[in-house]
Amino acid sequence: MTGVAGRLRAAAAGVRLWWTPARLREEGETPDYRFSLANERTFLAWLRTALALVGGGFAVAQFLPDLHRGPRVALAVLLLAVGALCALRAVDHWARCERAMRRGEDLPVSRFPAVLALAIGAVAAVMVIAVAAGWADR
C-alpha cells in the first residue's frame, strides 16, 4: 500500500508543478537556458501534435458523412481523446524534464511516443478501411 500511496503523492506533486512552475526554481541549479528553451520547444511540438489530433477528430466527425455514424463517431472520439491525452502528457513531460535538468539527473524516459505512434498508425489503418468501405457502398 505504501508503494501506491507514494506514487499517488508523487503524481500529485507533479501535477502541482503544472500550475506553479516557479516552484521548480527551488530545486537544484538553473540549467543552461538553451536546454530549458529546447525543452519548451519540445513541449510546443507535443501541443501541435495534440491540436492536429483534435482537428483530425473534428474533421472525421464533420467531413466523412458517408461513413456510418458508429464508426465515424468512434474514430472522432478516439482522435479527440488521444489529442487530449497528448496535451496532458506534454505538460507532464515538460515539468519532469525541467526538474531533472535542475537536479542534474538523467532526463526521464517514456514509452508515450511509441504508444502514440502505434495508436496513430492503428487509427490511420482503421480510417483507410472505413473510407474504402464507405466508397465501396456508393
Question: Taking Cα atoms as reference points, which of 99, 86, 92, 115 lies closest to residue 12?
Answer: 92
pLDDT at 11: 74
Q: How far is CA 48 from CA 1, 61, 85, 119, in A?
A: 38, 20, 13, 17
| Residue extents of the structural domains in the chain | 2-136
pLDDT at 135: 57
Question: Taking Cα atoms as reference points, which of 123, 101, 124 lies closest to residue 31?
Answer: 101
Residues 123, 83: Cα–Cα separation, whole Å: 13
* C-beta of residue 60 within 8 angstroms of C-beta of residue 75: yes
Environment class of 63 (CB within 10 Å of its CB; exposed 0-12, middle 13-18, buried 19+): exposed
- DSSP code, position 21: G
pTM value is 0.77
pLDDT at 4: 78
Q: Tens-of-pLDDT digits for all 138 residues of the chain?
A: 567 787 778 777 777 777 777 777 788 888 898 999 999 999 999 999 999 999 999 998 888 777 778 888 888 999 999 999 999 999 999 999 999 999 999 999 989 999 989 988 998 898 788 778 765 455
pLDDT at 123: 84
In degrees and rounded to multiples of 5, residue 5 shows phi and psi of -60, -40
